């Protein structure tokens, strides 16, 4: 069996075209959607992400502002900037690029963002809404995975799903979104016993563990749907995921590649969240 390759680039392009069309409708009503991106220090990976976000904003017709702060910026200075952005009427979404330097508390920073402008959906208020299923914003990576299921007609209802990883950014919200769509979900992590048995009996596996080629061919069942959220670099410096693509693609029915799978979807869902924030803040339904 040869797996269907889930094309995140093509799906992302399609969704961005829809966002641009809606942004154009907003501008006809005199509303401009705006996103502020804050980066502290010069982490190369963070810089790449921020550049990609700015590029996506330009592509979708979203106004963007970048605040690049030096590494030695104090927590107080960053919190003061967030307070200013919370009050800025032309900014609908605020994104603080993580990780932050060690002397700044990520929890304090996330808590300072107005939940109505929290387009990353990391604020505890938005996390609580995700738990109950009554949410405005979803974390971008899990939302991107759900959009790929939809695009490829993969029905998760009644299926056994395993999520490898329990981070607040991917693992936990991913499991909640699958649960909301009536999947039976197991969260696997470093302390999980008999992980191979769990994975082999799963219809859907979402790998978000951050370990190169963690998921091997002998750990999945024939016809399993495999989503690779991992972004790692191998010994040659090439981008690769948490899934041994060569082995697993021979058994899976659907699989996401790295790069070109979940990655493009993450930034696209950020654009969708910014559009939604602009609509909510202006009481517009489009």
Position of tokens 């670099």?
Answer: 233
Q: Which of 7, 22, 116, 120 is catalytic?
A: 120
Cα distance between residue 56 and residue 260, in whole Å? 15
Alpha carbon distance 181, 158 (integer Å): 9
- Asked about 14 being catalytic, the answer comes back as no
What does the alpha-carbon distance between residue 5 and residue 160 come to, in Å, rounded to a whole number?
21
> Minimal CA–CA distance to 188: which of 172, 173, 177, 203?
172
218 is a catalytic site residue: no
Structure tokens at 202: 């799963």
Within the chain, residue ranges assigned H as helices are 8-28, 44-60, 75-87, 106-112, 124-132, 140-151, 171-180, 195-200, 245-248, 262-281
Cα(193)–Cα(195) distance, integer angstroms: 5
CA-wise closest residue to 275 among 88, 18, 8: 18
Crossing angle for the helix pair 171-180 and 124-132, to the nearest 10 degrees = 30
Q: Which two tokens stand for residue 175?
A: 């499991």
Q: Across the chain, how many H-helices and E-strands are there? A: 10, 11
Task: Identify whether the C-beta of residue 19 lies closer than 8 Å to the C-beta of residue 59.
Answer: no
Q: Which of 7, 53, 251, 276 is an active site residue?
A: 53
- The yes-or-no answer on residue 32 being catalytic is no
Active site residue: 7, 22, 97, 276, which one? 97
**Which contiguous run of DSSP H or E holds residue 95?**
strand 93-96
Q: What is the DSSP letter of 164?
A: E
Catalytic residues: 53, 97, 120
């Amino acid at each position: 069996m040869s797996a269907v390759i889930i094309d995140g680039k093509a799906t992302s392009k399609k969704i961005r075209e829809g966002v641009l069309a809606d942004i154009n409708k907003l501008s006809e009503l005199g509303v401009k959607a705006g996103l502020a991106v804050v980066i502290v220090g010069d982490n190369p990976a963070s810089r790449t992400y921020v550049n990609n976000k700015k590029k996506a904003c330009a592509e979708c017709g979203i106004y963007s502002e970048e605040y690049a702060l030096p590494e030695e910026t104090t927590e107080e200075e960053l919190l003061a900037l967030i307070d200013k952005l919370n009050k800025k009427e032309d900014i609908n979404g605020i994104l603080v690029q993580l990780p932050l330097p060690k002397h700044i508390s990520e929890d304090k920073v996330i808590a300072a963002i107005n939940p109505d402008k929290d387009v990353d959906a990391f604020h505890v208020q938005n996390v609580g809404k995700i738990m109950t299923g009554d949410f405005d914003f979803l974390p971008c990576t899990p939302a991107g995975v759900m959009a790929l299921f939809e695009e490829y007609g993969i029905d998760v209802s009644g299926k056994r799903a395993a999520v490898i990883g329990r981070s607040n950014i991917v693992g936990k919200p991913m499991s909640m979104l699958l649960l909301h769509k009536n999947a039976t979900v197991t969260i696997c992590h470093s302390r999980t016993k008999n992980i191979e048995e769990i994975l082999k009996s799963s219809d859907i596996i979402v790998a978000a563990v951050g370990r190169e080629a963690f998921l091997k061919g002998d750990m999945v069942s024939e016809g399993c749907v495999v989503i690779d959220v991992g972004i790692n670099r191998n010994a040659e410096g090439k981008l690769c995921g948490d899934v041994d693509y060569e082995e697993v693609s021979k058994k899976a029915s659907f699989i996401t590649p790295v790069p070109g799978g979940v990655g493009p979807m993450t930034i696209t869902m950020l654009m969708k969240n910014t559009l939604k924030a602009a609509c909510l803040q202006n009481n517009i339904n489009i």
